[in-house]
Structure 1
């Protein structure tokens, strides 16, 4: 399994137009092969302004190539691309593999392979109020084994909150030694309470001290799930109002 992360930077003020375009053009009927493996589209609520992030799950690079090609062959796609690209100032993507520690990748590991079919968090509540945090950590060269060892130790303590974890991933292409962690929260306040619990937890403080020796840079981006129901497979059944 590989994860593709794409980010689209929009021209200022065009986010609503982007989502309207998705609602009209990118339905399960229009691009089924592509959306079958869509984990979710997200609006950046805290971080780079006017940016869309979306995540895809593929078997491997061949699966990615075939599904993207199938998408491109669908009727009317060139009209869609022409319209969509007028909204953008930049596009980027990267590929990641699941954490080597199974507990840090609960949806994709030797025991489970979630295929974006049924929501993982269907009882999350009001999807419109949810946030997903993307924590990006750049490791110093050669420190990945130590980083994962410390994270595995911490994941076995009572300070580790598994219920909010979507997964952790490590880069395959692009920036090397980059780790991404995704978590979901019912609100921004709940995220802040999570951070406060970590700060008070002795096991986390000890783990953080060891982890910081491996880290070159880090940042947290706050995301909100797509307003288009079938583009938030973590929380909403894919067939809801799609087409």
Structure 2
């Protein structure tokens, strides 16, 4: 059985972490397959991505029961096995929605946080998990959480080893929406289809611009917006969308 399942439907690429018997705990093979799936999502036929877990959980982080790979020190394991997938998810120039269906912690939380937005089921539970086993946060957790949470909320959450439900996660910025379990995948797919239906490069451009804010000053950001404006304006889908909009405005209504 594959550790990752993926499918493409009308521009929406779905990636499923697939170790349900272990609540999708992470092993090296899964991380490698996840990197491969994210690489496939970069193809031109993909417009948006849904990322979720199979069974009752999203991912409980590294599988403590699995044999430890012969990579020492810990930094080497992180660099070779965990970092590539997270980097590829963040750099993917397609919008990604994580559908968090159950427990998510440790490096699994990092994977969810690497998505652009998160929709959580009311069955979801969020935890850092690192300090409970004497570890510092890793796999990009501190960077990724800081994109959506304040410093104080992120420190409070990670340093106290908190476990929070979906509604508290929404309050502190970990997730964007909370829905009932049977509404989770339909809602995530609805968001992805909405992204996929947008013409041109508007959605990936918004992603690139917001990511650039972390290292640009105002003048640099204005210049980047101006350069991307030229790319967007000259995209063939933008031209077709504009023409259709103009035609709709010109078309007389039923009372004309």
TM-score under structure 1 normalisation? 0.22
Higher helix proportion: 2
Higher relative CO (Cα under 8 Å, sequence separation at least 6) belongs to 1
TM-score under structure 2 normalisation? 0.21
